[in-house]
Amino acid sequence: MTDLSHLRVDFPILHQQVHGEPLVYFDNAASSQKPRQVIAELTRYYELDNANVHRGLYELSNRATDSFEAARKKVACFIGAGSADEVIFTRGTTESINLVAQVWAAQFLKAGDVILYTGMEHHSNLVPWQLAARRTGAVLKHIPVLDDGTLDLTLLDLLLTEQAKLFACVHVSNSLGTINPVRELCAKARALGVTTLIDGAQAAGHLPVNVRDIGCDFYAFSGHKMCAPTGIGVLYGKAEVLAKMEPWHGGGEMIESVTLEASTYKAAPHRFEAGTPDIAGVIGLGAAIDYLESVGIEKIHQHGQELTAYAMQCLAELPGIRLLGPQGDRASLAAFALACAHPHDLVEFANTHGLALRGGHHCTQPLMKRFKVPGTSRASFYFYNTAAEVDRMMDILHRAVTFFS
| Residue 170 host element (H or E) | strand 164-170
CA distances from 15 to 21, 41, 199, 287, 366 (A): 11, 21, 32, 22, 37
CA distance 293 to 286: 11
Number of neighbours of residue 341 by Cβ within 10 angstroms: 21
CA distance 371 to 324: 9
C-beta separation of 118 from 151 below 8 A: yes
Residues pairing with 136 in the sheet: none
Cα dihedral 371/372/377/383 (nearest 10): 10
Using alpha carbons, select from 181, 252, 14, 218 the residue that is nearest to residue 102.
218
Q: Which of 77, 227, 314, 363 is catalytic?
A: 363
3-class SS string, 193-211 = CCEEEEECCCCCCCCCCCH
Using alpha carbons, select from 4, 9, 307 the residue that is nearest to residue 177.
307
Catalytic residue flag (residue 363): yes
C-beta separation of 177 from 378 below 8 A: no
Q: What length does the chain have?
A: 405
Tell me which residues are annotated as active site.
363
